[in-house]
Structure 1
Amino acid sequence: MRRIVTAALALSLGMASAADLRIYPSFTEVREPVRATGPTLTISLPEAAWAGLIPGTLDLDGLSFSSAVQRQEANWLASLEGKTVYVKKEDGTLEPVTLVRARDLLVRDAQGRYRTVRYEDLVFEVAPPLNPQTPSQALTFTLPQPGAGTLTYLTRAVTWSPRYTLKAGTGGAQLSALADIRNMADLPYDVKGTELYAGDVEVQGQPVPAPYMALRAEVTASSGAADAAAPKINALGELRGLYRYALSTPFTLPANSTVTLPFLTPKLTQFERYAGLNTYFTPQNTDGTLSRFYRLKADQRLPGGSLTVREEGRIVGQTQISETARGEEIEFSLGNDPDVRYTRAVQTVSSEKNDKGNVVRTTYKVTYTFENGKDRPVRAEVTERVGGRRITIDGVVRGQNPAAELRVDVPANGKATKTFTLVVDNS
């Protein structure tokens, strides 16, 4: 497998060494062991690695240096300038020519005539590397003394994210997760140690590229492309507010791929379905449909990611969940439920004015009528937020900008009514 860092000049990398990856949601820290046997250390990074590198993040850890120079090296094709290559002719025969200039593929034939050719028509005596026309970047470090260290840099090319599946049925619900590790570079990684971090970590550099645009293949733990002993993801606890995980064994992250591994299997300590409405108070009458809501709690911390909900094996919706602490409530909606409708009627009970004739205190009676068209009962929940300086709901002073909360069970193919009294005091 092609290595992410290759040996050049005074750099010596053993065949058994491999990169360590610390993968975050929007970037990765690559850590590659290096050893210098002299006063300089030269490292060549393929252009595919350089393209995703976050500027200003290259460093040597554990190995002091007095200066570092970065430059662009010629590509493989340039190394053949002045040498004989072959051009495939229309009749299939090969014509020996001299490669004069690799930049525009200028060649000279046996008669001394010059012309440019297409790369597809060139034939070589040795196998060319991947992307032979692409240059590489060379880094030369000047060292006070030889030694071993670790080359580190941050790249946008490798990211990860969890995705959850909530399977619900008449007997309850189960929550499971997969971890997608994405490599968006034309560069494979032979990974020795892997850590995954979940949380809000910001770094400088270019915006994060959209992951799905660069994916060309997906490798799952059960596919033939994956190792038979696929790594497991183990929790390592918390690090300054970040969730930390590690892969149990080394693995290969192919170029332009996604490696998917089983992640979490948390137990749900709470699970509820209901038809809900989140709205704001208005003195006008309203009506409409409620939405399909879910409410759950898990016994583990959950990194943010996408969530697919299946009911009786069928997908009923998708959403995103944010970073969630253990036991914290998760609530989300999957769209309207046309079978559960509401009618909201508002009655002005009283109104008080000040000496200037301005209304300063108003009492309202708000009545919700729910209608359930399903053949089973439905829990209906309404949260209606009220703006104002001093608010009283059902005789209880609630302070500023509170919410009225209604809960009612609506029978199958039936109706239910719920009422609350609201006093808005802006005096």
Structure 2
Amino acid sequence: MRQLLTAALAAALGTASAADLRIYPSFTEVREPVRATGTTLTVTLPEAAWAGLIPGTLDLDGLPFTSAVQRQEPNWLASLEGKTVFLKREGEPTQPVTLIRARDLLVRDAQGRYLTARYEDLSFDVAPPVNALSPIQTLTFTLPQAGAGTLAYLTRGVTWAPRYTLRASNQGAQLSALADIRNGTDLAYDVKATELYAGDVEVRGQPVPFPQAAFRNEAADAAETVTTAAPTINSQGELRGLYRYALSAPFTLPANSVVTLPFLTPKLTGFERYAGLNTYFTPQNTSGTLSRFYRLKADERLPGGLITVREEGRLVGQTSIPETAQGAQIEFSLGNDPDVRYTRAVQTVSSERNAQGNPVRTTYRVTYTFESSKDRAVRAEVTEIVGGRRIVIDSAPARQNQARAELRVDVPANGRATRSFTVVVDNS
């Protein structure tokens, strides 16, 4: 137990805390080995660990206990109550004072007068720890017997996210990914084993808000840490709908940091660019510009994340992609393409009405005219969602409630193209 307390206090002072991490997109399960030599085990964690902890998730795995009591211990400054510290106020000489209460920094001077000091005006004979004013939380377990186990808890302070880069050119496209592991706490972790999970995992508890960290990349701390071989990220397959990955080697996750590692380099089994429009059917005439769309398939399952698209090495947009199974199609838009315009004209071909004069079956002819000012041919694709009790699109089988009308056309360079389709809306 003494060794555990020493390690925990060392972590509070900035030394990495040894742990295994199971990192999810919005939280992390921290697993730290513990050993009890008697029937009482006291775990001391710094405030940085408790701040992001999700209530109701602390557990002692592999070591049975009969009760657990959590309490807040005084901060470091409380150990100096009744002792001499030094007060230096602007325009005044430094004077020795007695610290009466650490809670509100009440001190007494040599004349016996009481005053409230500011922490930054105090100096000490010994070096104060980091976050000297933060209280320390302890958790005391009562055990049937001695033994070893794992202290486990969930924290919002450590998360991860993939980010992709799609590099496209006239010769094709390549997709690569990085994994950002973020530590938003003042607690560093000496990580022995790391697993990354991607997918939809919901936890109910909300943590006490922790201070927002000024993130910095691990590379910025290279001069402060021992250089070791960077771990690689290996796929571990699927776990009940989650994507699971593991780091190949231990690593240090510094406090208030972002560690970035190479992630995936999937092979694209399909890639297309096109100018597109997704809209709902209306009997009104409309016009506008199409949007810049991309369509791709990869030979690996892809966790959801931010994707940056570069054409000929230049940034052309960013968006997010969802969780995607191996070989599934991904489509996304990067905004309007002013060089590809459309004009949509709707003609009512026929209309049948009931005895009350309300239309019950109407046939429309929708005509799209596309114009491009690009110096190369471009694919234009339009999808319209049509609603009604019974819908017929061109000669396709009738659909109930909703149907999709789709147009695909190659627009020549600096040219135009026209395509039409018919819609029968039957509400009888």
Number of the residue aligned with 2:73: 73
Closer, same or farther in 2 for the Cα pair 1:423/1:35, shift >3 Å? same
On the 8 A contact 1:4/1:189 being kept in 2, the answer is no
Closer, same or farther in 2 for the Cα pair 1:84/1:208, shift >3 Å? closer
Number of the residue aligned with 2:103: 103
**Residue 338 of structure 1, CA deviation:** 0.6
CA distance, structure 2, for counterparts of residue 209 and residue 405 of structure 1: 49
Closer, same or farther in 2 for the Cα pair 1:408/1:369, shift >3 Å? same
CA distance, structure 2, for counterparts of residue 16 and residue 127 of structure 1: 20
Number of the residue aligned with 2:218: 219
On the 8 A contact 2:375/2:414 being kept in 1, the answer is yes
Number of the residue aligned with 1:12: none
* 3-state SS in 2 of match to 1:413: coil
* 3-state SS in 1 of match to 2:315: strand
Closer, same or farther in 2 for the Cα pair 1:210/1:62, shift >3 Å? closer
**Residue 214 of structure 1, CA deviation:** 3.1
Please list the CA deviations of residues 301-344 of structure 1 after superposition, one character each: whole Å capped at 9, or x if unmatched: 00011111111111111111110000000001111111100111
Number of the residue aligned with 1:411: 412
**Residue 251 of structure 1, CA deviation:** 1.2
Closer, same or farther in 2 for the Cα pair 1:371/1:5, shift >3 Å? farther
On the 8 A contact 2:300/2:327 being kept in 1, the answer is yes
CA distance, structure 2, for counterparts of residue 403 and residue 95 of structure 1: 82
- Whether 1:402 and 2:403 are equivalent positions in the alignment is yes
Partner AA of 1:418 in structure 2: R
* 3-state SS in 2 of match to 1:319: strand
For structure 2, list consecutive stretches of 5 or more residues without a partner in the other structure.
10-14
- Whether 1:333 and 2:365 are equivalent positions in the alignment is no
CA distance, structure 2, for counterparts of residue 225 and residue 161 of structure 1: 25
CA distance, structure 1, for counterparts of residue 333 and residue 8 of structure 2: 56
Number of the residue aligned with 1:29: 29
Closer, same or farther in 2 for the Cα pair 1:370/1:183, shift >3 Å? same
* 3-state SS in 2 of match to 1:185: coil
CA distance, structure 2, for counterparts of residue 35 and residue 52 of structure 1: 24
Closer, same or farther in 2 for the Cα pair 1:275/1:209, shift >3 Å? farther
Please list the CA deviations of residues 82-126 of structure 1 after superposition, one character each: whole Å capped at 9, or x if unmatched: 222223365796433322221122223344333332222222222
Partner AA of 2:270 in structure 1: Q
Number of the residue aligned with 2:59: 59
Number of the residue aligned with 2:376: 376
Closer, same or farther in 2 for the Cα pair 1:139/1:266, shift >3 Å? same
* 3-state SS in 2 of match to 1:112: coil
Partner AA of 2:131 in structure 1: N
CA distance, structure 2, for counterparts of residue 208 and residue 327 of structure 1: 41
Number of the residue aligned with 1:291: 291
Note the 1:5-24 alignment, pairs <5 A: 6=6, 18-24=18-24
Partner AA of 1:299 in structure 2: D
On the 8 A contact 2:19/2:31 being kept in 1, the answer is yes
On the 8 A contact 2:297/2:328 being kept in 1, the answer is yes
CA distance, structure 1, for counterparts of residue 221 and residue 369 of structure 2: 52
Note the 1:120-269 alignment, pairs <5 A: 120-206=120-206, 214-220=213-219, 227-269=227-269
Q: Which runs of 4+ in 1 moved over 4 A?
A: 3-9, 89-94, 207-211, 220-226
**Residue 60 of structure 1, CA deviation:** 0.4
On the 8 A contact 2:69/2:139 being kept in 1, the answer is yes
Number of the residue aligned with 1:426: 427
CA distance, structure 1, for counterparts of residue 184 and residue 128 of structure 2: 23
**Residue 154 of structure 1, CA deviation:** 0.5
Number of the residue aligned with 1:301: 301
CA distance, structure 2, for counterparts of residue 147 and residue 37 of structure 1: 7
CA distance, structure 2, for counterparts of residue 142 and residue 340 of structure 1: 72
CA distance, structure 1, for counterparts of residue 4 and residue 130 of structure 2: 13
More divergent stretch after superposition (397-406 vs 152-161): 397-406
On the 8 A contact 2:32/2:150 being kept in 1, the answer is yes
On the 8 A contact 1:371/1:413 being kept in 2, the answer is yes
**Residue 179 of structure 1, CA deviation:** 0.6
C-alpha RMSD over aligned residues? 2.5
On the 8 A contact 1:7/1:43 being kept in 2, the answer is no
* TM-score (normalised: structure 2): 0.92
On the 8 A contact 1:34/1:150 being kept in 2, the answer is yes
Number of the residue aligned with 1:344: 344
Number of the residue aligned with 1:86: 86
Partner AA of 1:218 in structure 2: N
How many residue pairs get aligned? The number is 419
* 3-state SS in 2 of match to 1:397: coil
* 3-state SS in 2 of match to 1:78: helix
**Residue 356 of structure 1, CA deviation:** 4.1
Identity within the alignment, %: 77
On the 8 A contact 2:16/2:189 being kept in 1, the answer is no
Closer, same or farther in 2 for the Cα pair 1:60/1:210, shift >3 Å? closer
Closer, same or farther in 2 for the Cα pair 1:325/1:99, shift >3 Å? same
Partner AA of 1:166 in structure 2: L
